[in-house]
Amino acid sequence: MYFGLSLALVALALKFFQEIIHVLPNIFSMAESDLILVLLSLVDMTLVGGLLVMVMFSGYENFVSQLDISENKEKLNWLGKMDATSLKNKVAASIVAISSIHLLRVFMDAKNVPDNKLMWYVIIHLTFVLSAFVMGYLDRLTRHNH
């Protein structure tokens, strides 16, 4: 499974650079709003990539084996400190951030999106926000009671 996530990260990186190569020749003739939409798309892909890396490393450490990194080498400070609950909360927060950027992209192009679709985008985003909030709240309750 982690190999599959690694391949997904490579595919996402290829798509990221394809988008950059596609936009560079047109950058001076693009409208500002179109450039902002492309940049939001790149930020979105970056957040998804970071989410994949976080899930791969912390999931591997939590469920497979400790990563053996010597003390004199650089190490991600969150590595080894994130249990399954913390990982779920980070994933939920990342999903909210990704959804927020997607929603911003949709609103920047709102004149081309039907009202009922806009409504559903907002409802889905609020569902993500509420879910992340409830997960964090329940985590705080269970940690407080123990």
d(CA 121, CA 102) in angstroms, rounded, equals: 9
Q: How many CB atoms lie within 10 A of CB 73?
A: 6
The 8-class DSSP code of residue 114 comes to -
pLDDT tens-digit series, residues 39-58: 988 998 998 998 898 888 87
pLDDT of residue 136: 86
110 within 8 A of 118, measured Cβ to Cβ: yes
pLDDT of residue 56: 85
75 within 8 A of 63, measured Cβ to Cβ: no
Nearest CA to 4 among 56, 60, 44? 56
pLDDT tens-digit series, residues 64-73: 666 555 565 6
pLDDT of residue 15: 97
pLDDT of residue 16: 97
Q: 146 in helix, strand or coil?
A: coil
The residue type found at 140 is R
Nearest CA to 52 among 112, 12, 96, 99? 12
Where helices occur in the chain by DSSP H, the ranges are: 2-23, 32-63, 84-108, 115-145
Delimit the domains of the chain by residue range: 2-145
> Which stretches of the chain drop beneath a pLDDT of 70?
60, 62-82, 145-146
